[in-house]
């Protein structure tokens, strides 16, 4: 019998989290014991932004060091997981069947939104990994629909992970002033967390309209790309889901780094 995977939303932290030892990395380490080995992993990364959904189709994706100004040891890290071009084409077809135009990039590697958490979760890098891009010009409902189209993959033992951040104001992170975390960041984080834990259609509707309804949304996310992977994860988990908070803490006492595990309510 084919195993069914949960769906995850992970705050992927700073690239420095790849070196271990912080609260976020510890949350992932605890999660390792909960996960069974998937057939493949689909990472929805905030660090790949496109106009339409694109799936990575490389058989041997390179490790992308898409950051600057960090210690040299980070640039030496590699996550040599294989890809799965055939699965990329199946995912593209699933999206097409749902009325969502998508493409495949056969040269795309794994950005740090993918490989930083995966180094902790699957350190052997022996599970095929694909990425799916997000569309910052599109709304939360679009990304929820992406996830809903991909939901059957969880029943095929494919682990779907939305990789972003619960809050992501880099200017506040780089130039902190006053209270830490900022009251605006904490208000947004608490509002989102409460609605995720409700796991209800009404709560989802409020989350869909987060730019208008959530407190201080433009402060917590000056740009939306780090929040959008959450909606892909919610769509993949479905309306009748159980939500578990996995912790994660704060990055630099500024960025909320919460992580969530979603399962079907009957599991």
Predicted confidence (pLDDT) per residue in 183-218, tens digit: 999 999 999 999 999 988 899 999 999 999 999 999
Match 């891009």 to its residue by tokens.
133
Domain at 56, CATH number: 3.40.830.10
Pure H helices in the chain: 23-32, 72-75, 85-97, 112-121, 140-150, 170-174, 183-198, 201-208, 210-213, 217-220, 228-237
Q: Report the chain's terminal Cα–Cα distance, integer Å.
A: 15
Confidence (pTM):
0.96
Residue 109 lies in a domain: yes
**pLDDT tens digits along 65-91:** 999 999 999 999 999 999 999 999 999
Strand, helix or coil at 248?
A: coil
> What value does the mean pLDDT take over residues 225-231?
98
Torsion angle defined by CA atoms of residues 169, 170, 174 and 176, in that order, rounded to the nearest 10 degrees: 0
Residue 121 lies in a domain: yes
Pairing of strands 7-11, 40-49: unpaired
| Four-residue CA torsion sign, 34, 153, 125, 66 | negative
Count of domains for the chain:
1
Residue 255 lies in a domain: yes
Residue 234 lies in a domain: yes
pLDDT band at 267 (very low <50, low <70, confident <90, very high): low
d(CA 54, CA 97): 15
d(CA 62, CA 97): 30
DSSP for 21-82, please give it. Answer: -SHHHHHHHHHHTTPPPPSEEEEEEEEEE-SS-EEE--SSPPBP----SS-HHHHT------
Question: What pLDDT is stored for residue 156 in this prediction?
Answer: 97
Residue 191 lies in a domain: no
Query: Which structural domain range is residue 24 located in?
Result: 7-167+225-264
Residue 203 lies in a domain: no
pLDDT band at 241 (very low <50, low <70, confident <90, very high): very high
Which tokens hold the place of 85? 């071009």
Pairing of strands 250-251, 103-105: unpaired
Residue 58 lies in a domain: yes
């Amino acid at each position: 019998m084919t195993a069914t995977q949960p769906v995850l939303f992970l705050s992927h932290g700073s690239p420095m989290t790849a070196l271990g030892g912080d609260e976020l990395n510890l949350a992932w380490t605890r999660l390792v014991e909960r996960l069974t080995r998937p057939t493949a992993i689909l990472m929805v990364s905030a660090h790949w932004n496109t106009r339409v959904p694109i799936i990575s189709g490389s058989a041997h994706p390179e490790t992308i060091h898409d950051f600057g100004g960090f210690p040299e040891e980070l640039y030496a890290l590699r996550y040599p997981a294989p890809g799965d071009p055939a699965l990329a084409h199946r995912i593209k077809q699933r999206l097409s069947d749902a009325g969502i135009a998508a493409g495949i990039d056969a040269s795309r590697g794994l950005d740090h939104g993918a490989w930083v958490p995966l180094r902790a979760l699957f350190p052997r890098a022996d599970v095929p990994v694909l990425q799916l891009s997000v569309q910052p010009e599109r709304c939360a409902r679009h990304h929820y629909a992406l996830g809903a189209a991909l939901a059957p993959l969880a029943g095929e033992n494919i682990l779907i992970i939305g990789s972003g951040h619960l809050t992501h104001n880099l200017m506040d992170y780089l130039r902190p002033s006053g209270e830490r975390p900022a009251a605006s960041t904490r208000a947004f984080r608490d509002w989102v967390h409460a609605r995720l834990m409700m796991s209800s259609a009404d709560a989802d509707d409020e989350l869909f309209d987060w730019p208008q309804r959530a407190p201080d949304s433009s402060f917590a996310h000056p740009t939306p790309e780090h929040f959008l992977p959450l909606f892909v994860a919610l769509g993949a988990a479905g309306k009748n889901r159980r939500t578990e908070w996995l912790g994660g803490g704060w990055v630099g006492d500024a960025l909320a780094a919460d992580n969530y595990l979603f399962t079907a309510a009957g599991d």
